[in-house]
């Protein structure tokens, strides 16, 4: 049987001020072509289907389009929720969807979801474990002695009594790590060692009973511990930290027990993301300008700030997301001991010094009044200050 593994679609996400719905439909259409060309039997979607708990209308329409396209092709879909999803919203209509071979487990309710399918080699048990917190599992298994995420997932699997002699696949959305290595993070899941996005780590060995483990949560595609325990990664680059990622989708072929192979099929976005660095004049020279529709993060090394630099850049690169500086002024700021900056200093003194370091001149009274107004609205200054 052939499976295609997806995760972290984040439908409805924006990149800065730019709506990504067209980019997401483009990449999903590409994935539908891969499903067809590779004769895929089932698609595994490992959570973070939507970018927000309350998805936009455009995002829900796009998911509907994708699921309907898979169903019309006779392809099974197995989908779980991630920490970005609303359990209830993603679970809505799940009973009806099963009639079209769309199987959804969006909320852990005391039992691990299991669906058995058959191919030429016999039966395969597919398990769906949506994003869970230790507290959720403790609610259903109060006597299990659960203290952390790792305990919770191990207890869920133990209660399911997985038959290791059978071919088993699991789809889950957690921070799974190797014995001596941490996953390469990137994107909205955040960074950290003990946890990522406030999700504690789980050892990959707790999934030893499974022939393939389809993971979601980490945006960088990679294996964890063994080839068959894998993050598919997000299908698009969603942050600057992912700029060097080569996006792909794993296609998994399972034959007899212990005969599992993984092939990574590359994805090509409608608009790539690039990080360019240098002096403004050099970056925008005609001979250096390529792929103008790409999403651009630019780091300028000019010593002087450029007025309306975003407007200038977007005349050439209309999808410029962010511009920052790397020069002697920013290096000087980086070397400052942050913990001592605010000692016995007023808001006005701090803002005035910062302004002077960046612009090389004194801040005006009008500008300072604006900064004070913003600080009060943000709650970092009292009205009396």
DSSP string covering 321-352: EEEEE-SHHHHHHHTS-HHHHTTT--HHHHHH
18's tokens: 């730019």
The pLDDT score that the predictor gives to residue 186 is 61
Note the pLDDT tens digit of each residue in 31-66. 999 999 999 999 999 999 999 888 899 999 999 999
Nearest to residue 4, comparing CAs of 200, 196, 171? Answer: 171
Q: How many CB atoms lie within 10 A of CB 289?
A: 12
In a domain, 385, yes or no: no
238 and 132 in a single domain? The answer is yes
Note the pLDDT tens digit of each residue in 106-134. 888 889 999 999 999 999 999 999 988 88
Domain of residue 194, residue span:
2-266
The four Cα atoms 358, 359, 364, 368 give a dihedral, to 10 degrees, of -20
In a domain, 383, yes or no: no
Q: Please give the helix or strand (H or E) that residue 167 lies within, else none.
A: strand 167-173
Nearest to residue 186, comparing CAs of 249, 310, 273, 106? Answer: 273
The pLDDT score that the predictor gives to residue 43 is 98
In a domain, 228, yes or no: yes
Domain termination site, one of 221, 239, 266 = 266
Cα–Cα dist 133/153, whole Å: 9
232 and 333 in a single domain? The answer is no
SS3 of the chain: helix, strand, coil, percent, to 5: 30, 25, 40
278 and 258 in a single domain? The answer is no
In a domain, 384, yes or no: no
The four Cα atoms 162, 163, 169, 172 give a dihedral, to 10 degrees, of 10
The pLDDT score that the predictor gives to residue 191 is 43
Mean pLDDT in consecutive groups of 10 residues from the start of the chain, 385 residues: 96 93 98 97 95 90 95 95 75 74 90 95 96 88 86 92 96 84 59 48 92 94 93 94 93 95 97 96 94 96 91 95 88 63 76 77 84 74 57
Domain count, the chain: 2
293 and 163 in a single domain? The answer is no
Cα–Cα dist 242/185, whole Å: 9
Question: Whole-prediction pTM value?
Answer: 0.81
297's tokens: 């993060």
In a domain, 297, yes or no: yes
The pLDDT score that the predictor gives to residue 372 is 83
25 and 166 in a single domain? The answer is yes
In a domain, 157, yes or no: yes
Domain termination site, one of 214, 233, 266 = 266
State how far the alpha carbon of 8 is from the alpha carbons of 70, 87, 93, 174, 213, in Å: 18, 15, 21, 12, 15
262 and 287 in a single domain? The answer is no
295 and 259 in a single domain? The answer is no
In a domain, 129, yes or no: yes
127 and 94 in a single domain? The answer is yes
Domain termination site, one of 266, 284, 319 = 266
33 and 147 in a single domain? The answer is yes
284 and 252 in a single domain? The answer is no
87 and 32 in a single domain? The answer is yes
The pLDDT score that the predictor gives to residue 339 is 57
In a domain, 248, yes or no: yes
104 and 230 in a single domain? The answer is yes
Pairing mode of beta strands 320-325, 295-300: parallel
3's tokens: 């499976």
- Residue 228 belongs to a domain with what CATH number? 3.60.21.10
The pLDDT score that the predictor gives to residue 190 is 47
């Amino acid at each position: 049987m052939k499976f295609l593994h997806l995760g972290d679609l984040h439908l409805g996400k924006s990149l800065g001020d730019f709506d990504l719905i067209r980019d997401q439909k483009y990449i999903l259409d590409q994935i539908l072509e891969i499903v067809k060309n590779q004769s895929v039997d089932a698609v595994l979607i490992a959570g973070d289907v939507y970018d927000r708990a309350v998805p936009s209308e455009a995002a829900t329409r796009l998911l509907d389009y994708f699921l309907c396209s898979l169903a019309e092709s006779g392809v099974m879909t197995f989908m779980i929720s991630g920490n970005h999803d609303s359990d209830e919203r993603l679970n809505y209509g799940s009973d009806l969807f099963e009639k079209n071979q769309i199987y959804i487990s969006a909320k852990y309710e005391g039992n691990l979801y299991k669906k058995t399918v058959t191919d030429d080699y016999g039966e395969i048990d597919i398990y769906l474990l949506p994003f869970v917190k230790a507290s959720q599992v403790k609610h259903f298994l109060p006597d299990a002695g659960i203290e952390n995420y790792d305990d919770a997932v191990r207890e869920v699997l133990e209660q399911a009594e997985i038959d290791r002699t059978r071919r088993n696949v699991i789809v889950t959305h957690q921070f799974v790590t190797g014995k001596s290595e941490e996953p390469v993070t990137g994107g909205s899941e955040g960074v950290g060692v003990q946890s990522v996005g406030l999700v504690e780590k789980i050892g990959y060995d707790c999934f030893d009973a499974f022939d393939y483990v389809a993971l979601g949560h980490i945006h960088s595609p990679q294996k964890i511990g063994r080839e068959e325990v894998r993050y598919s990664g997000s299908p698009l680059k969603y942050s600057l930290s992912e700029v060097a990622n080569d996006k792909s989708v794993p296609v998994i072929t399972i034959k007899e027990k212990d005969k599992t192979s993984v092939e990574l099929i590359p994805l090509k976005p409608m608009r790539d993301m690039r990080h360019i660095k240098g002096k403004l004049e050099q970056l925008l020279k005609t001979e250096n300008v390529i792929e103008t529709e790409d999403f651009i993060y630019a780091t300028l090394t000019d010593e002087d700030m450029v007025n309306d630099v975003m407007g200038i850049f977007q005349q050439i690169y209309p999808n410029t997301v962010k511009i920052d500086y790397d020069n002697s002024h920013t290096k000087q700021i980086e070397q400052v001991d942050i913990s001592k900056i605010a000692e016995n200093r007023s808001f006005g003194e701090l803002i005035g010094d910062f302004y002077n370091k960046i612009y090389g001149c004194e801040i005006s009274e009008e500008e300072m009044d604006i900064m004070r107004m913003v600080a009060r609205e943000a709650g970092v200054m009292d009205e009396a200050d």
